[in-house]
Amino acid sequence: METKKSIRQHLSQMLRKLKPATPRKKVMVATGFFIEETEEACKTELDRVKKHIKTAFDNQVAHLIKDFNMSKEEAEKIALEHAQFRIDSLNSSYNL
């Protein structure tokens, strides 16, 4: 018998599927100033983004429950849609 996954489990699964961007040889950090991006920097950036998405999800759920008197399930569904948008935006920026 298959158990139904919670919305938070779906979010965790989506975040686990994310992979770090491939390092680029030249990244402009200021006008005319370039650096080489390392694999470690890409992994660190991905960890930072995952943490941001998770925190934004939790904050949005709390806000919807408190200010709009939504149920936890309704709030998590809406917050998951926003998290999915953030993940899609991240994926599109990696595939330049």
What contacts 61, CB < 8 A, 6 or more positions away?
A: 72, 75, 76, 79
Q: What is the pLDDT of residue 96?
A: 47
Q: What is the pLDDT of residues 7-46, one digit of tens each?
A: 999 999 999 999 988 888 887 778 888 888 889 988 999 9
pTM listed for this prediction = 0.84
Annotated domain spans of the chain: 38-96
| Axis crossing angle, helix 72-94 with helix 7-17, rounded to the nearest 10 | 10
- The residues facing 30 across adjacent strands are 33
